[in-house]
Amino acid sequence: MTRPDAYYLNNVANTLVLLNAMQRHGVRRYIFSSTAAIYGNPESVPIHEGQTKLPINPYGRSKWMIEQVLEDFQVAFGFESVCLRYFNAAGADPDGQLGERHDPETHLIPLVLQAASGRREAISVFGDDYDTPDGTCIRDYIHVQDLCAAHLLALEHLLAGGKSRRYNLGNGQGFSVKEVIDVARAVTQRPIEVRMQARRAGDPPRLIADSRLIQAELNWRPEFADLSTIVAHAWGWEQTFKTRSTT
């Protein structure tokens, strides 16, 4: 919300540069990492693909713009694409070889686990006055391994001559910020200090996926749908931090 220029430059302008280069060289199949943020404050949950798109932040608006660009490229150039609308990607490689490493880190689960490991003093919770059972935002968390599997299925769909499609990617289960912290405490067996902060602009109260379409059409099934498993895999990655920081 504070740097909309960066989102429009990266997600819109740079994607257009890429798509135009692909078009010039006859590459007309594309998998796009979209987002649940295109729905804004959804009409109902779980959210199905046909719901109205009214994004409430620059991130969601920039992604929705590219989805519309891809529709125009299909009409004009025969450009086929699969847009995968991620809900909250989380977790890590079950074997601990790969995981999240953002600088700065912005995602809830790794931030909570940094607080559990002692790399962070506390976890900030932005708003506890939302219209949800415990007042904190509710999100649908999808394991990164399941997200990767969906990408492979989308690629196979396009390579087999499939037409453009739009799919939600989530587990269909919603967990509040406080519930995620409670699960992290149980998994890590560590204390996690919470500091309440004011709401952030652009955060919808609830985002939960209806992913039945990709399940029906591409036979996608989440392998790691349990939140405790997602957190446990992310915790395994967090515990490798000291090793990673010295290599």
SS3 34: strand
What is residue 1's predicted lDDT score, i.e. its pLDDT? 87
- What is the share, in percent, of the chain residues with pLDDT greater than 70? 99
Q: Report d(CA 172, CA 149) in Å as an integer.
A: 17
Q: Is the confidence at residue 35, as pLDDT, over 70? A: yes
pLDDT tens-digit map of 185-199 = 999 999 999 999 999
What is residue 233's predicted lDDT score, i.e. its pLDDT? 97
Which CATH number do you get for residue 147? 3.40.50.720
What is this structure's pTM?
Answer: 0.93
Q: Report d(CA 19, CA 14) in Å as an integer.
A: 9
Q: Is the confidence at residue 228, as pLDDT, over 70? A: yes
Tally of domains in the chain: 1
* Domain membership of residue 133 as a residue range: 4-245
Exposure on the CB side of residue 216, measured as CA atoms within 13 A: 8
What is residue 247's predicted lDDT score, i.e. its pLDDT? 58
List CB contacts of 12: < 8 A, sequence separation 6 or more.
62, 65, 66
pLDDT tens-digit map of 98-152 = 999 888 899 999 999 999 999 999 999 999 999 999 999 999 999 999 999 999 9
232, two tokens = 């446990």
Q: Which residues are tagged catalytic?
A: 59
- The neighbouring-strand residues paired with 239 are none
